[in-house]
């Protein structure tokens, strides 16, 4: 029985997705490390460091299917690290002893870190694609509902009218910032690591940097300025990004979850027979995707803290903090992949009840636009006096359960400044959404012109 939801056949597609799990699977991790070893052999042959026939043989045999996986597992259990058993596997698979030229001048962490960078390259591409898809969905929602009035809420109470298009555009702004962040730090997250035992490339003499540069080009990774064996800000930054991203998705999920409350009923997750059903209450339609988005953010946050702690490493090769990454990085990427998948499905099928949004704007008998009335009176009696006058009228409206507009029209101190028609206009929630529409347009224009 699996000890983790990430491995469970029951739960793995709730907390992750198949594409991201494949990237961080044992088989793919090993294959990425083998690709580093093969790439190293090829560039060293071109530079005259090892024989060409050795490079050819290593490249041909450095594939997962040629590895004796059972022996490899036993080797890891013996050594506590994977690369020595991996190199032993390459040597065993190669003919004529040519495998002895593998791993020439490298150290364990070189291969593991460079393999990780290959994994991160693929994982970040997957995230970028998902973010682009979610952005497109939010663009569609912002356009469609640009002028659909909705109660804005503050401290869980109705505050002022907004529009649902504005709300979707606010969600969109967070997604777009993450796309920008990703483009900015991606090169730092996908750097080659090839520096030798203490990071100085001493085993390759004056050809070390030539090998390093050629290997970066061979693998399609970024060239490091200097060794990063124990300077782990790049991988910590990557995990921090995942924490930020899952936090934004959880904020969107929280908005949807709270909007699905029976007493609100404005926004709903997609409907499918049985989706979010209760085992005992047939009427229930639970916000299942939203809940998973919130859980993913909570779990990712803990891994972010772990990765930050793992930055504190000793000297040129750490005595243990590096292992934190083996735990935290794959889990956080899988959580993020699952959260993106859940968010994409949820947002693409979001059900919007515009009539309920409009009805909810009226449940306070017009008090949601009390600020509009205050600002309408302010030029005549001053803002603070107007605030106090409208505050008293609001209390009366609540006590008497009457529309704010009616009480305002009964007060001479107000009607001497405003006509009944002006008061009615001020009390129309749809007329007090400020420049929400223009903000939506500005956000959409930015998305349309951003090059990535």
Are 51 and 160 members of one domain? no
Query: Which candidate, 97, 39, 98, places its Cα nearest to that of 63?
Result: 39
Beta strands in 260-387 (DSSP E): 267-268, 351-352
Residue 283 clears pLDDT 80, i.e. is over it: no
Q: Is residue 280 part of a domain?
A: yes
More confident residue, 304 or 377: 304
Q: How many CA atoms lie within 13 A of 95 on its CB side?
A: 4
- Averaged pLDDT, 127-152: 97
pLDDT classification of 301: cutoffs 50, 70, 90: very high
Are 251 and 301 members of one domain? yes
Last residue of a domain, one of 89, 106, 123: 106
Q: How far is CA 286 from CA 217, 269, 274, in A?
A: 50, 9, 10
- pTM, full prediction: 0.93
Residue 142, pLDDT score = 98
Are 15 and 157 members of one domain? no
Q: Is residue 207 part of a domain?
A: no
Query: Which candidate, 235, 230, 249, places its Cα nearest to that of 306?
Result: 235
Q: Is residue 263 part of a domain?
A: yes
Q: Write out 369-407 in H/E/C secondary structure.
A: HHHHHHHHHHHHHCHHHHHHHHHHHHHHHHHHCCCHHHH
Query: Which candidate, 177, 299, 171, 180, places its Cα nearest to that of 239?
Result: 299
Query: Where in the sequence is the domain holding 444, given as residue range(s)?
Result: 110-191+228-353+435-452
pLDDT per position as a tens digit, 99-135: 999 999 999 999 999 999 999 999 999 999 999 999 9
427: which residues sit within 8 A by CB, 6+ positions away? 366, 369, 372, 373, 403, 404, 405, 408
Last residue of a domain, one of 46, 77, 106: 106
- Averaged pLDDT, 221-240: 96
pLDDT per position as a tens digit, 27-75: 999 999 999 999 999 999 999 999 999 999 999 999 999 999 999 999 9
Q: How far is CA 382 from CA 36, 178, 399, in A?
A: 73, 43, 26
Q: Is residue 89 part of a domain?
A: yes
Q: Which of 156-165, 201-210, 364-373 is least confident?
A: 364-373
Q: Is residue 3 part of a domain?
A: no
Query: Which candidate, 195, 278, 182, places its Cα nearest to that of 237?
Result: 182
Domain CATH number, residue 376? 1.10.40.30
Are 248 and 386 members of one domain? no
Query: Which candidate, 89, 114, 110, 109, places its Cα nearest to that of 99?
Result: 89
Q: How far apart are CA 209 and CA 284, in angstroms?
A: 63
Residue 264, pLDDT score = 94
pLDDT classification of 5: cutoffs 50, 70, 90: confident
Are 238 and 166 members of one domain? yes
Residue 220 clears pLDDT 70, i.e. is over it: yes
Q: How far is CA 215 from CA 14, 84, 87, 189, 317, in A?
A: 38, 20, 18, 17, 22
Beta strands in 165-262 (DSSP E): none
Are 311 and 250 members of one domain? yes
Residue 282 clears pLDDT 70, i.e. is over it: yes
Q: Please, is 90 exposed, middle or buried when counting C-beta atoms within 10 Å of its C-beta (0-12, 13-18, 19+)? A: buried
More confident residue, 148 or 371: 148
Domain CATH number, residue 83? 1.10.275.10
pLDDT classification of 1: cutoffs 50, 70, 90: low
Are 182 and 282 members of one domain? yes
Are 180 and 274 members of one domain? yes
The pair of structure tokens assigned to 4 is 């983790």
As annotated, the active-site residues are 155, 278
Are 116 and 166 members of one domain? yes
pLDDT per position as a tens digit, 158-185: 999 999 999 999 999 999 999 999 999 9
Three-state secondary structure call for residue 272: coil
Residue pair 193/231 in contact by the 8 Å Cβ criterion: no
Residue 345 clears pLDDT 90, i.e. is over it: yes
Q: Are strands 157-163 and 351-352 parallel, antiparallel or unpaired?
A: unpaired
Q: How far apart are CA 103 and CA 93, in angstroms?
A: 14
- With pLDDT > 70 as the criterion, what percentage of the chain qualifies? 99
pLDDT per position as a tens digit, 246-257: 999 999 999 999
Q: How far apart are CA 419 and CA 438, in angstroms?
A: 29
Are 265 and 402 members of one domain? no
Are 56 and 176 members of one domain? no
pLDDT classification of 218: cutoffs 50, 70, 90: very high
- DSSP count for the chain of H helices, then E strands: 19, 4
pLDDT classification of 277: cutoffs 50, 70, 90: low
Q: Is residue 203 part of a domain?
A: no
pLDDT per position as a tens digit, 284-297: 788 889 999 999 99
Residue 365, pLDDT score = 87
Please give the mean pLDDT across all residues of the chain. 93
Last residue of a domain, one of 106, 132, 164: 106
Give the total number of structural domains in the chain: 3
Q: Is residue 223 part of a domain?
A: no
Q: Is residue 61 part of a domain?
A: yes
Domain CATH number, residue 115? 1.20.200.10
Are 71 and 183 members of one domain? no
């Amino acid at each position: 029985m699996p000890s983790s939801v990430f491995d469970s056949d029951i739960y793995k597609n709730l907390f992750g997705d198949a594409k991201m799990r494949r990237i961080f699977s044992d088989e793919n991790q090993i294959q990425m490390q083998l690709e580093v070893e093969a790439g190293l052999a090829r560039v060293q042959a071109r530079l005259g460091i090892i024989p060409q026939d050795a490079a050819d043989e290593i490249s041909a045999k450095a594939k997962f299917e040629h590895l004796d996986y059972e022996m490899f597992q036993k080797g890891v259990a013996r050594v506590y690290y994977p690369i020595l058993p991996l190199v032993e596997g390459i040597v065993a698979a190669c003919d004529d002893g040519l495998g002895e030229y593998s791993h020439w001048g490298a150290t364990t962490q070189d291969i593991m870190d460079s393999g990780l960078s290959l994994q991160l390259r693929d994982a970040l591409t997957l995230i970028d694609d998902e973010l682009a898809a979610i952005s497109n969905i939010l663009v569609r929602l912002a356009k469609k509902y640009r002028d659909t009035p909705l109660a804005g809420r503050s401290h869980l109470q109705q505050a002022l009218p907004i529009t649902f298009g504005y709300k979707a555009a606010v969600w969109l702004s967070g997604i777009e910032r993450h796309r920008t962040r990703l483009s900015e730090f991606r090169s730092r997250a996908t750097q080659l690591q090839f520096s030798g035992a203490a990071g100085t490339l001493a085993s390759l003499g004056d050809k070390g940097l030539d090998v390093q540069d050629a290997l970066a080009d061979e693998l399609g990774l970024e060239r490091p300025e200097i060794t990063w064996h124990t300077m782990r800000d790049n991988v910590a930054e990557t995990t921090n990004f995942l924490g930020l991203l899952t936090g934004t998705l959880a904020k969107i999920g929280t908005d949807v979850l709270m909007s699905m409350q029976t007493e609100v009923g404005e926004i709903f997750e997609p409907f499918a027979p049985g989706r979010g059903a209760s085992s005992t209450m047939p009427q229930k339609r639970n916000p299942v995707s939203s809940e998973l988005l919130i859980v993913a953010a909570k779990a990712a946050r803990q891994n972010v803290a772990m990765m930050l702690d793992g930055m504190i490493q000793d000297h040129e090769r750490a005595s243990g903090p590096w292992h934190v990454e083996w735990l935290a990085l794959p889990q956080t990427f899988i959580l993020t992949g699952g959260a993106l998948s859940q968010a994409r499905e949820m947002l693409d099928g979001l059900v919007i009840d515009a009539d309920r949004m409009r009805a909810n704007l009226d449940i306070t008998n017009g008090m949601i636009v009390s600020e509009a009335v205050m600002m309408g009176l302010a030029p005549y009696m001053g803002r603070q006096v107007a605030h106090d006058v409208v505050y008293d009228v609001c209390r009366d409206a609540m006590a008497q359960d009457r529309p704010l507009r009616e009480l305002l029209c009964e007060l001479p101190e107000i009607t001497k400044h405003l006509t009944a028609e002006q008061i009615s206009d001020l009390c129309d929630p749809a007329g007090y959404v400020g420049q929400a529409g223009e903000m939506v347009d500005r956000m959409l224009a930015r998305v349309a012109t951003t090059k990535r």
